[in-house]
Amino acid sequence: MYSSTPQNQAIDTRISAFENYCLIFGFLFAVLLLWRLWTFTVLPFLYPEMPKTLPYWLPWLGHSIPFFQNADETLKRARLYFGNQRVPFALVLGGQYVYIVTSAKNASEVFRNYEQLSFNEYVKDIMLRFGATPEGVSRTWDTPSSHETRAKLHASRATRSVSHYCERIIQIQLHPGDEMHKLQREFLKHIDTSMAWSSIPSSIIHSATPTERTVSLQGWMQHSLLAPVTEIFYGHQILRLEPRFLKTFLKFDETGWKLMYKIPALFSKDMLESKEVMKSAFDRYFTLPPSEREDACWMIKRLEEELRDNGNSDSDISAYLLLLYWGINANAWKAAFWLVARIVHDPELQTMVEEEILPIVSQNLSVKELQYRLEKDCPVLIACYNEVMRTTVSSITARDVISECVIGDKTLQPGARVVIPYRQMLLDEQVFGADAESFNPHRFLKNPGLAKSSSFRPFGGGLAYCPGRFVAQMEIVCLTALIFGRFKLKIKDSRVCFPEMDAAKPCLGVMGATEGHDVILSVRERSDWLLDD
């Protein structure tokens, strides 16, 4: 017979509470199942013209967790989930609908749609998070005619924004022409100096004898490009004002994706601390008298002049030109690292490259002649460069949907964001072959036309087409030619595997090596060789 004792009553209460919890859980689970059925089965059936969304279980969060754990793998999984048809599909990242475009044809449609897909809003948002004020952003992207004085001084510019003229200045400096050729000569002088036996810094040398040194390839590429690029564009004052600048920049570059993807400050302290150190250095730089910054390149001085003429403050100017610095200096050293690493890890390929370049770099050539000969007479080197860019770039282009539009037979809704992850196109098996995910420079030797394919976009496209692509190729290819022409290189320990690429981390350009991965080289000097002016 059941006795209603206090102990039994407590047991009954617990059982009743457990039953209630089960009912609540069951109800919520049923609601969740109905929501999934409605969202991922019924709605796509009723609205086939809408991009399908990759199914997920947690509303609002959506695909945030797997995306930030491994963005590339999440995009690949979604593409394969939809049958690898390369039609636009959707992810949900923290409540934000993001349309993903993975085909070259659809990407071209995005580039051509200026009215319904906005690039400016995306850039404005980045500028604000990089430290610019709302007033400064408005001044830069508003039409000059909104500023009476500027409209009078530049009547022919009254219908264009200041940002348009800043873009034009950048193109004049970085596209083929007199200003680019001046810049290239300075680049090669610096690279020539850094590729001397005596210029190898002690900080990257693991061991040494009078005739042989064991060095870190990653450290060597950073030393050879980061400081020279900084000084060529901005002069010497930045590194004098902030001696920690380059080390801080490398830390920021590792975590800068958090800024682009709006990761909360609680989880972005490392990125924010690095950004503040760099921003402080640039703020101080642009408060210096112009006479103390005369060694900056034409582009930087002209951009500053244009922005000041528009009424922008020192802080807004430094934010704009710091963002430009990130774009200029983030990728070249990593691309050079992968190019040298790929060649030196393949003895047969290394022999082919050296046979091409040694007759060229052994001559006292001018800068212009060197570049011409490398591009004309070194097809293996150029094929290796193209294949490195194809396999290591993980950049994106983004647009905000302003009004309803159609891309690839799918209707995109306003308020969402369109993202083009170029790596998904660069690894397209239908274009680059069944081994598209493998490094194989012979594909470009057998079919040079691949370098002009609409799927081969390592430098982006449309409004975000990298203006520095010509200079980047020059500095990476010439540096690689000099390092193999000046030195005899081999892997220190042939048993060590090729360094792993950090593909899990979201990236805005060339992917770096996974932490702790490097290439340790044995280096012997060939002979001295100096560039002619």
Task: List, for residues 81-105, the tens digit of each pLDDT value.
Answer: 999 999 999 999 888 899 999 999 9
Burial of 62 (0-12, 13-18, 19+ CB in 10 A): buried
- State residue 161's pLDDT score: 83
Q: Which residue has the higher pLDDT, 428 or 24?
A: 428
- State residue 94's pLDDT score: 85
Q: Is the pLDDT of residue 373 over 70?
A: yes
Q: Is the pLDDT of residue 12 over 80?
A: no
- State residue 3's pLDDT score: 57
Q: Is the pLDDT of residue 156 over 60?
A: no
Q: Which residue has the higher pLDDT, 68 or 314?
A: 314
404-423 pLDDT, tens digit per residue, is: 999 999 999 999 999 999 99
Q: Is the pLDDT of residue 150 over 60?
A: no
The structure tokens listed for 16 are: 């009743």
Q: How confident is the model at residue 463 (pLDDT cuts 50, 70, 90)?
A: confident
Average pLDDT rounded to a whole number, residues 310-321: 95
User: Chain-wide mean pLDDT for the chain?
Assistant: 91
Q: Which residue has the higher pLDDT, 276 or 155?
A: 276
Q: How confident is the model at residue 530 (pLDDT cuts 50, 70, 90)?
A: very low
- The one-letter amino acid code at 450 reads L
- State residue 159's pLDDT score: 57
- Check: CB of residue 482 under 8 Å from CB of residue 191: yes
Pairing of strands 205-208, 410-412: unpaired
pTM of the model: 0.92
Q: Which helix (H) or strand (E) holds 423?
A: helix 422-426
Q: Is the pLDDT of residue 459 over 90?
A: yes
- State residue 36's pLDDT score: 95
- Check: CB of residue 271 under 8 Å from CB of residue 255: yes
- State residue 11's pLDDT score: 63
**What is the biggest distance separating any 2 CA atoms in the chain, rounded to whole angstroms?**
107
Percentage with pLDDT > 90 across the chain: 75
Other beta carbons within 10 Å of 48: 11
C-alpha angle 469/337/318, rounded to 5°? Answer: 55
Distance CA 276, CA 288 (A): 19
Q: Is the pLDDT of residue 148 over 80?
A: no
Provide the CB-side half-sphere exposure for 379 (13 A, CA): 9
Average pLDDT rounded to a whole number, residues 470-482: 95
- The one-letter amino acid code at 463 reads L
- State residue 62's pLDDT score: 93
Q: How confident is the model at residue 144 (pLDDT cuts 50, 70, 90)?
A: low
Distance CA 299, CA 8 (A): 83
- Check: CB of residue 173 under 8 Å from CB of residue 180: yes
Residue that has been written with the tokens 């970085």 in this structure: 174
- State residue 106's pLDDT score: 97
SS3 state of residue 193: helix
Distance CA 468, CA 465 (A): 9
Q: Is the pLDDT of residue 304 over 80?
A: yes
Q: Is the pLDDT of residue 264 over 60?
A: yes
Distance CA 475, CA 170 (A): 17
Q: Which residue has the higher pLDDT, 160 or 65?
A: 65
Residue that has been written with the tokens 């709302």 in this structure: 134
The most confident of the ranges 19-23, 333-337, 396-400 is: 333-337
Q: Which residues contact 476 (CB under 8 A, 6 or more apart)?
A: 332, 335, 336, 339, 385
Residue that has been written with the tokens 């690949």 in this structure: 76
Q: Which helix (H) or strand (E) holds 352?
A: helix 347-361
- State residue 146's pLDDT score: 44
Q: Is the pLDDT of residue 169 over 50?
A: yes
109-143 pLDDT, tens digit per residue, is: 999 998 999 988 888 988 999 999 999 999 998 75
